[in-house]
Amino acid sequence: MRFLVLLTLAACGSSTASVDASGDGTTADVVSGDPLASCTGQCKNTALTAAFKSTRTLDSAYFGVTSQDGSLHIEAYRRAGSGCPTMSSPTADYTLVISSMAAPTSTAPLTSPVNILDFKGDLLNNALGLAATMETLTPVAYSAGNFVAVDVNAVFSQGTVSGHLYATHCASLDG
């Protein structure tokens, strides 16, 4: 049980408290507070595996907030320019677009339209883009206006994208 609680804490970044629940002097760590409140260590890494004609890893991500409904627009990239994307940023080799994920309030899985864009031409057999046929987005951590961490599992007709993303807020992606 202690291992499971510690594993959960490592993944979610929650705080712990040691308690003597049985009254026999032994203690166990328990989760307290908001499970989405913090993101440390591996949680702050982006590693999404895009497995199609070729297999590639997307390694950076940013998000914006949609003014209409407060949903998140998240983009993950491979070989993107540094910093927030702008109109003059270099084109990334590949971009995963999560277009309208609800702002997380718990770790319950969410859905959103997900698309993969292949600007290099070697991932999708020279097609520019492809929409997911099924997606599961599991929030790991979220701080409004600062960061979002999500475990992604998206299925496409020609492959999959899965793994973890950590995205920081970019006003250039707000809409």
Q: Which DSSP string do the residues of 90-142 spell out, in sequence order?
A: PPPSEEEEEEEEPPPSSSS-B---EEEEESSSTTTTT-SEEE-SEEEEEEEEE
What is the pTM for the complete model shown?
Answer: 0.80
Contact 109, 138 (CB under 8 A): yes
| Tokens describing residue 123 | 């991932």
Q: Is there a single domain that holds both residue 64 and residue 27? A: no
Same structural domain for residues 6 and 76?
no
Identify the helix (H) or strand (E) that includes residue 81.
none
Give the residue among 130, 128, 99, 129 at the shortest CA–CA distance from 113: 99
**Residue 86 and residue 25 in one domain:** no
In a shared domain, residues 18 and 98: no
Same domain, 50 and 18: no
Domain of 28, in residue numbers = 2-32
Cα–Cα distance between 39 and 169 in angstroms, integer?
14
Beta bridge partners of 51: 55, 160
**CB-neighbour burial class of residue 25 (10 A; exposed 0-12, middle 13-18, buried 19+):** exposed
Task: Specify whether 158 is located in the same domain as 97.
Answer: yes
Per-residue pLDDT of the chain (175 residues; tens, 9 = 90+): 333 333 333 343 433 333 333 344 433 333 446 889 899 999 999 999 999 999 999 999 999 999 999 999 999 999 998 899 999 999 999 999 999 999 999 999 999 999 999 999 999 988 999 999 999 999 999 999 999 999 999 999 999 999 999 999 999 999 9
Total domains in the chain come to: 2
Clarify whether residues 59 and 143 are in a common domain.
yes
In a shared domain, residues 86 and 159: yes
Clarify whether residues 7 and 72 are in a common domain. Answer: no
